[in-house]
Chain A
Amino acid sequence: MQTNLTEKATALFVSLMCAIMLSPAWALASETAAMVPDVPAAGDPGWWKWPVILLVVTFVMGIIAVLGGVGGGVLFVPIISGFFPFHLDFVRGAGLLVALSGALAAGPGLLKANLASLRLAIPVALIAATMAIVGAMVGLALPTHIVQLALGGTILGIVVIMLTAKKSAVPDVPAADNLSSALRICGIYHDQAMKQDINWKIHRTIPGLATFIIIGFMAGMFGLGAGWANVPVLNLMMGAPLKISVATSKFLLSITDTSAAWIYMNKGCVIPMMVVPSLIGIMLGSFVGVRLLKVAKPTFIRWMVIAILGFAGLKAMHKGLTVMGII
C-alpha cells in the first residue's frame, strides 16, 4: 500500500517536472531572451534568476536522466538550448562539462569494479577523442542555425534509437576476431544478478572502431556526450556484455568529452555562471534519482524521456528552420 503511494507520488512528481519542462512558457522565455538587445544594458538586479532556474531544471534533469537511463548531456543540450536564453556555443560547452563530470564521478568506481574495461576503452578512446576535436572545431565554425538544425535531427535520431534498439545482456560471440585477440580485449566479471562469472570477448572490432569516428565527431560537434550511441555499438555490434558496455561507455565519455571540452574552453565557450549551477544541479539530481530508482517505474520514465527529447529535437529544428527562413 505504502509502496503504491510512493510509486504514485514519484510518478506524479516526475510527470509534473516533465510537464513544466515541456511547457510553452519555456519557449516564450527563450523567444523573449532572444530579443535582448546586442548593446548590453546596465546591471540587471534580477540576474540571479536564470542561474537559479538552471539549477532547478538541471536538478530535475539529473533525476530524469538516472530514471530514464540516459546521460545528462543528451538531455542538457537540447533542453537548455531550446528553452533558455543562453547561446548554443555556451550550452554545448556546458553540456560537455556536464557529461564529463558525470563520467569522471562514475569512472573510478567502474574501473575498480572491473566493469569498465580499460583495454576496450583505449583503442575506442583514441578514435573518438580525435574525432571529437574535429567535431568541436566544425561545430564552432558552422553557423549556429545549421548546428541547431543538425542537433534537432540528431536528437530525433536518438529518439528513434531509443525506441528501436534492442539490448543483449551477454551477446553470443562465437570467436574473438584477430584484432581484438591481438590487443587482448577480453575479460571476466562477476554478474551478481546471474550469480556467475562471465567470460567475455568481442568481435567485429574494425567496423566497431570505425563507427566511433562518427560517434566522436557528433559528441564534439553537439556537446551531447555519446552514451546513447556507445552502448549499442559496444553491446550489439562488438558483442561486449551489456554491463561492460554501459560501464565502459560511461568511462569513455571522460576521455572523448575531455578532448572536445578543451576545444570549447580554448575558444572561450565557458561561462561559470552557467556551468557551475548546471553541474551542481545535475549531480544533486542524480543522487536523488538513484534513490527514486527503487520505487519509480522505469518504462514510464523512459517514455517521458523519449517525449521530452522528441519535443526538444523538434524545437531545435524549428529554431534552425526559422532562422533559415524556411518556416
Chain B
Amino acid sequence: MSELTKEATEEQVLYANILEKGMFFGLISMIVTFALYVFGIMPAVVPVGEIANYWNMPVDQYLAAINDNFLHMEHAPTGWAWLGLLGNGDFLNFLPVAILAGITILCYAAIVPGLFKRNDKAMGAMALATAIVLFLAASGIVGGGGH
C-alpha cells in the first residue's frame, strides 16, 4: 500500500494531463468549427436563417423535419450519423462536442492498466466498469440512437 502524501497520485496526474489536453483541443476546435458554420464559410444542412424555425420542436419532430426538408435520408440523423455529414458546418460542430464528451473515456482507459499493475484491483475494476459504461453510452448501444 502506498503511503499517503499531499501530492496527487500518479494516476491522478496522468488523468489530469490527458483531460487538460483534450479539453483545450475540444474548446479550440469548437470555436473554429462554429466560426466556419456561422460565417457561412462552410455550407450547412439547415441554413442559419432557418434554424429558428426548428429549435422549438421536440427532438423527434425536429429530426424528422430537417430530414424531410433538407437531408432526405432513409433515417433521421441520430447516433453517429453526423460523421457522414461532416462536410456541413452545422454537423461539423458535433466533432468538438464529441471530443469534449469523449475525453473522459480516454482518461479512464489510460489509468486502468496502472491501477491493476499496482494491484489496486477494486479501483481498477471500477474504473474499467466506468469506462465501459461511458463507451456504451457513446456508442449508442445503450440509450438508443445508434445505427
Q: Which chain A residues have a beta carbon within 8 Å of chain B's beta carbons?
A: 33-34, 36, 38, 40-45, 47-48, 50, 85-87, 89-90, 97, 100-101, 104-105, 107-109, 111-114, 117-119, 122-123, 125-126, 129-130, 133, 136-137, 140, 144, 182-184, 186-190, 197, 199, 254-255, 258-263, 265-276, 279-280
Contacts and interface: CB of A to CB of B under 8 A. Distances in A.
Contact of A108 (B17, B102, B130, B134): B17
Contacts of B56: 33-34, 36, 85-87
A262 B101 contact: yes
Contacts of B90: 272-273
Nearest to A132: B137
Nearest to B69: A40
A29 to B, nearest CB: 12
Contacts of B55: 85-87, 90, 271, 273-274
Nearest to B7: A114
Contacts, number: 213
Interface in B15-44: 15-17, 19-20, 22-23, 26-27, 30-31, 33-34, 37-38
A158 to B, nearest CB: 25
B113 interface: no
Given A47-B50, A105-B23, A274-B55, A268 B62 contact: yes
Contacts of B69: 40
A262 B78 CA distance: 11
Given A186-B4, A188-B6, 15 more contacts: A89-B59, A101-B100, A105-B23, A108-B23, A122-B126, A129-B137, A199-B4, A254-B19, A258-B101, A262-B143, A263-B142, A269-B59, A276-B30, A276-B34, A279-B30
B1 interface: yes
- Which of A48, A197, A270 is most buried by chain B, counting CB atoms within 10 A of its CB? A270
B51 A267 contact: no
Given A47-B50, A112-B16, A144-B58, A126 B145 contact: no
Interface string B73-115: 0001111100000000010011001101111110000010000
Given A258-B101, A275-B93, A50 B143 contact: no
A292 to B, nearest CB: 23
A133 B142 contact: yes
Contacts of B61: 38
Nearest to B138: A262
A97 B97 CA distance: 8
B130 A126 contact: yes
Contacts of A97: 97, 100-101
A270 B126 contact: no
The 6 lowest CB-CB distance pairs between A and B, nearest first, are A266-B145, A43-B49, A272-B93, A40-B53, A108-B20, A111-B16
Interface of B: 1, 4-9, 11-13, 15-17, 19-20, 22-23, 26-27, 30-31, 33-34, 37-38, 47-59, 61-63, 65, 69, 76-80, 90, 93-94, 97-98, 100-105, 111, 122-123, 126-127, 129-130, 133-134, 137-138, 140, 142-146
A254 B4 contact: no
A185 to B, nearest CB: 9
A89 B60 CA distance: 10
A163 B100 CA distance: 34
A43 B105 CA distance: 40
A188 to B, nearest CB: 5
A129 B130 contact: yes
A123 B126 contact: yes
A262 B134 contact: yes
B63 A258 contact: no
A258 B134 contact: yes
Nearest to A183: B122
B143 to A, nearest CB: 4
12 contacts: A42-B50, A108-B23, A111-B16, A119-B123, A122-B126, A188-B6, A254-B19, A263-B142, A270-B93, A272-B90, A272-B94, A279-B27
